[in-house]
Amino acid sequence: MARYIVRRLAWAVVMLVVVSALTFLIFYTFPSADPAALRAGRQATPQLIEQIRHALGLDKPVYEQFFIYMKNLGLHFDLGYSYQNNVPVRQEIFARLPATISLTAGAFVVWMLIGIPVGVLSAIRPRSVGDRVAMGGALVGISAPVYWLGLVALFLFASDIGKVHLFGGAGSYVPLTQDPGGWVKSLILPWFVLAAAFAAFYARMVRGNLIEVMGEDYIRTARAKGLPERRVILRHGLRAALTPIVTIAGLDIGILLGGAVLTETVFNIPGVGRFAYDSIVNSDLPAIQGTVLFGALFIIVANLIVDIAYAFLDPRVRY
């Protein structure tokens, strides 16, 4: 196991370097706004733009800029300074990371608490009325765009513009350390909006996997031994059916920790996703590079945790 983890961590470093190189290549290959001109403002002169370009190091060759960036990243974990406000990118990301973690963790709990039970109940009684209603609702949840669902939720339940003033509206995010009650109230709508599509997809996945697993020979053997049906379903069937769910969950968590752009934008949550979107609009390469690297790091770590968890979920998996 230790050798496997070390090997995966070494590949993670290689992948981060490749992702960083591709980000540099895309930024310089495709046409985009000049960061120096954006920072200089509307009344900028060519001389001022050249001075800013020299100060930011944009007049150096691409390979030299990339080498300097990777050297600072490897030695000091320095992600550079934002072209827009000259603030360290690492500081900006760490300041916004708690909001993204709060949004992702809460949505993950919600979609797991909804998706897995609904999928199990539908698999136990396939083609029943409850199964048809649940799968029909899941289809609606998967089909509804996040931005539309968020706007509808704000229109109905937001404390400022909603028809029923129940929860916090857009821009009402409060940090957990500042006000735990306000933190929960401001994130209830984003949690359910972000979790809707995931819960629907997981319900359908659990249902399909569990129906397939319940037809296996070892399930019939467990029933033949006289084990209670609940134990057969939860102890033997569900455990095997959740293995592919763990894979998808790891990927989904890693992606969302990199930034849930649409949800953070609709509800005006100051998270990493909103920061990444603003950085792309402003052609802020250090900020884009930092958010992309953080997103890739989260996905790699989540996949590593998932692979290790396989050994505990499925005894047949060995490293």
Q: pLDDT tens, 200-233?
A: 999 999 999 888 888 888 888 888 888 888 888 8
On whether the CB atoms of residues 56 and 48 are closer than 8 A, the answer is no
| Residue-range definition of the domain harbouring residue 61 | 2-76
Structure tokens at 180: 């735990």
On whether the CB atoms of residues 293 and 20 are closer than 8 A, the answer is yes
Please, is 291 exposed, middle or buried when counting C-beta atoms within 10 Å of its C-beta (0-12, 13-18, 19+)?
buried
Q: Report the largest interatomic distance among the alpha carbons of the chain, rounded to a whole angstrom.
A: 85
CATH of the domain at 117: 1.10.3720.10
In a domain, 301, yes or no: yes
In a domain, 87, yes or no: no
In a domain, 81, yes or no: no
**Beta bridge pairs of residue 158:** 167
Do 178 and 306 fall into the same domain? yes
State residue 108's pLDDT score: 92
pTM of the model: 0.80
DSSP secondary-structure letter at 76?
Answer: H
The most confident of the ranges 7-16, 71-80, 122-131, 279-288 is 122-131
pLDDT exceeds cutoff 60 at 7: yes
Do 178 and 108 fall into the same domain? yes
Do 115 and 25 fall into the same domain? no
From the list 20, 33, 27, the residue with the least C-alpha distance to 281 is: 33
* Strand residue runs (E) in 86-238: none
For 102-134, write each residue's pLDDT tens digit: 999 999 999 999 999 999 989 888 888 888 898
